[in-house]
Chain A
Amino acid sequence: MKQLIWIITALIVGFPLGSEAQETIHLFPDRSSCVSGDTVWFYAVVSNNGSENSGNIIHIQLDDLTQNHITKVSVASDNNCSSGYLVVPDSLSTGIYTLTAFANIQKKETSSIFYPRYLVVYNRFDNNISEFNIPVSEFKEAKSEPGISITANQPSNNSRTVDVKVDTDNNLCPDALEMIVTARLLDPFADHFSGEIEAGFETANQEPFMPVRENNGILITGRVVQKETEHPVQNTPVLLSIADTFPYFDYCVSDAGGRFYFYIRNAVGKGNIVLQEVSEHANENRIELLENYIETQKAPVTHQILTLQQNTFASDLVKAAYFNRIFKGFRAFETDSFSIKREFTHPFYGPPTFTFYPELFIDLPDFSEISREILHGVQYREKNDEVTIRLFNNGNKSIFKNEPLKLLDGIPIFNPKLLSKLKTQDIDKIDAVYFKRYFGDISFDGVLSVYTKNRTLGWVESVPGLNVFKYTFIQPPLSQETNKSIQKSPNSPDFRTVFYRNRWTETSNSKSFSVDLSDIKGDMLIEVIVVCKDKRIVQNRKVIHLD
C-alpha cells in the first residue's frame, strides 16, 4: 500500500516537470582551432523544444576556461537551426576557450544543460606554442553513429581535390530534416577536445532575470544605481530610445534591484541606444547595462605539453595566418550596420496631426521664429532666460498646461533650449501631435518631434542624463565563403583550414561533392551531422589521411 502511495506521489510530482520539455542547444562550429582574429562559423540546432510558441534567438558566448566572458553573438534561428559567425578577438591569448550556446529561456530552469565546445586559439603573434592548460572534462566522444556512411577517394599525385560521398540509410532519410557537412583540416591537438561536453549552471553566480522567450527580439537588461553608494534605485522610470527616421521608444520602471528591461524586436546589427532616467534624482544615479551571459560550471584544468607534431601544426597555422594577411589582407565584416524593422505604420506617438517642412518656407534664424511663422498650434515662449513650449489640444480646443514630449531626432529631451538654436536649414521635418497621448502607463500633453537633416548623435553626449550605449542586436545573416565560391588565384597560396561546409534542408539518400584542399599540410576530417524531424541528432566523422 505504501509503495502505491509513493508511486502515485511520484507521478503527481513528476508529471508537471516532465510535461514541459527543456530546450537543449547543440553547437557545431566549423573548426576546432583557429588563430586569433579568425572568424569561426557555426550552426546551432535547438532540440527537445517542447513548445510550439518558442523563441528563436540563440546566444553564443566565448569564454576562457576560468569562465571569463570574451565575446558574444546572438543569432536568429530558422526551423530550429541557426547559423552565424563569431570573430575571435585579434589580441586573444593562446589557450583553450569554450563556445556555449544558450537561449534566454534556459535561464528560467536551474537544471538547464548546455553543450559547450572547446575551441583552441593560437595567438597570431605567438611564435612558440608548446604548452596548454587543458580541461579535465568528460568528453562526449566524437562518435560515429550508424545510418551515415562517408566515402572519400585519395587525391591523385598532382591533384588537390578529394571526391566525397555521403550516404544515409533509407531508415534515416525520411526522418532527416537537414544535413550539415564539414570538411576541414584535422588539428592533432585541438581535435582531442572537439567533442561536446555537458555543463550545468554555476548556480552560485546565476541571477535569473526576465527569462522571456526571445523571438526575433533581444532582451536588454540594465540597472539604475546611486553613483556614490552603488545602491539600486527602485521605481524610477527609464526611457529607451533609438534614433531613426521612425523613432523607437519604450519605458520601463526599475524594480527592487534597480533593474529594468527592454525587449527590442527585429533589430539587426549594432546600433546606438539612448537610455535616460526620468526622476528628480537622475543626476545622482547611474545607468548601467547588464551583459547577457550565462555562468556555467568550470572544468578543472591540468597542464599539457604539446608533442612535436602538435607543435609543428600550431606553428604552421600561425604562419599561415600571417601570410594569409600579407597576401589577402584583413577583411573585417561590416558589423556596424543597424536596422530595425517597422512593426507599425506610425511611430509610437501615432499619426501626427501636422507635419511641417520648414525648408519650404523662407529662412528663419531660430526655433522661436519657426514656431511663430510656421508651427501653428505650437506656443514657444522665451522669458527670463527660460523657454517653455505648449501645444494646442485638439481634443478640447485649448492649450495644454504642461510641456509636450519633445523629441530631437527621436530622442526625448526635457530641456526646450536644445531646440532654440535650430534654423530652418537645419530641420528636415517636424511632426506635431495635438492630442494628449498615451503610451502604456505614461502620457504626454502632445508631442513635438523635430528631425534634423544631420542625424548624428553627437549632441547627445553634451546633454546631462542622456546615456548612449552601443548595443549588439541580432547578427545580420551572412553566408560563409567556402566551397567553390572562393575564386582562387593561381599566384597566391591557399591557407584555408575549412575546405567545405554545406547545409542541406532537403536531404536525399546520397550526397556527392568534391573538396579542394589548401596548401596547409595535414589530414582532413569530414564531419556529417543529420538533424532528424524529432530533433534527434545523428553524426558521423571520418579522417582522411593525406600524404
Chain B
Amino acid sequence: MRIRLKTIITCLLIFAAVHLRAQLTNIGFTLSTEANTTQYKLSGNQFYPLYVPMGSEFMNDDWQKGYVILENQDRYDSLHLKLNTYKDELIWLHSRSSSLVELDKSTIREFGFYSETGLPMMFRKLEMNIVPKGDHYFRMLYNGKLKLVIWFKTTEEEVPAYTDKYGYMRNTNFKMRSNYFLIFPDNDFERFRLKRMPFLYLFGEKQKEVRKLLRKNKNRLMKESDFINAVQLIDREFY
C-alpha cells in the first residue's frame, strides 16, 4: 500500500513538474543561455499560413535574411524574415524552435532585407493618414523631408475558375500591387502612379518649377530610379 502511494505521489510530482515547464517552453525545445540578451525580446503571435492556390501572401516566398529595429532602438540582425503583404505583417522564422512568429507591429520601427548588391531593402512603419488609416510597413525609396515610399499590398482577386493542385475548383488569385506614395513634410500621404504626369500633378502650383528643374537635370521620369532622383532633387531645391 505504502509503495503504491509512493509511486502515485512520484508520478504526480513528475507530472506537475513537466506541466509547469510546458507552460513556458515549446515542446522539444529547451531554453539555453543563447536566449539571453539585454535587448527587448522579439514578441509576436504564432503565424498560421493561409492556403493560397494561386499567387502568394508574401512579398517574397523565400526566407530572406534581414534586420529588425524596435521602437526602443534595439536592433536584431541576421533574422529570417518574410513580409506578408496580405496581412501587412512581418513574419519571423524562429529558428531555435522552428516556429513562425507574426512580430508585433506595435514594437517594430524598421526592418530590412540584406541585399547582395549593397544597400538593404529598408522598410519603415509609418502611420498613414488616408484610407486604410493606421500603421503600415512601407519600403523607403527616399527618406528626406519628402519621402518616396512603396506600400506593397496583396489582395485576393476573382479570376476565371480553375482547378488547384488538390483538384478543387477555385476562382481567386493573390496578387500583390506596388502602391507608390509621396509623403510631404506635413505627413500628408499622396498616392500616385509611377508615370510622369501623375507625379508632376502632386506639386500643384510648383509644377512648372519642378518640370523646369527636372528638364535641367535631364530627368525624364521613365523608371523608378528616375523618380527617386527627382524626389531627391525636389527635396533639395524646394523643401
Contacts and interface: CB of A to CB of B under 8 A. Distances in A.
Interface string B1-38: 00000000000000001111111111001111111111
Residue among B21, B25, B104 having the largest count of chain A Cβ atoms under 10 Å: B104
A443 B26 contact: yes
Given A350-B104, A414-B23, A437-B43, A344 B72 contact: yes
A345 B101 CA distance: 19
Contact of B106 (A251, A346, A433, A435): A346
B125 to A, nearest CB: 12
A436 B46 contact: yes
Given A237-B31, A250-B41, A438 B71 contact: no
Contacts of B97: 441, 443
Interface string A161-198: 00000000000000000000000000000000000000
A18 interface: no
Contact of B23 (A255, A351, A439, A444): A444
Nearest to A215: B73
B42 interface: yes
B72 A343 contact: yes
B94 to A, nearest CB: 7
A442 interface: yes
Interface string A329-354: 00000000000000111101111000
A interface residue count range (under 10 / 10 to 19 / 20 to 34 / 35 or more)? 35 or more
Contacts of B53: none
Contact of A438 (B32, B37, B38, B46): B46
Interface in A436-454: 436-445
Interface stretch (A8-16, A66-74, A395-403, A538-546): A395-403
B163 interface: no
B201 interface: no
A225 B186 CA distance: 57
A253 interface: yes
Interface of A: 210, 212, 219, 235, 237, 250-255, 260-261, 263, 265, 278-280, 343-346, 348-351, 395-396, 402-405, 414, 433, 435-445
19 contacts: A219-B38, A253-B31, A263-B39, A278-B20, A278-B21, A280-B18, A280-B21, A344-B71, A344-B106, A349-B43, A350-B104, A351-B104, A402-B22, A414-B23, A435-B45, A436-B46, A440-B35, A441-B29, A442-B24
Interface of B: 17-26, 29-46, 48, 70-72, 94, 96-97, 99, 101, 104, 106-107
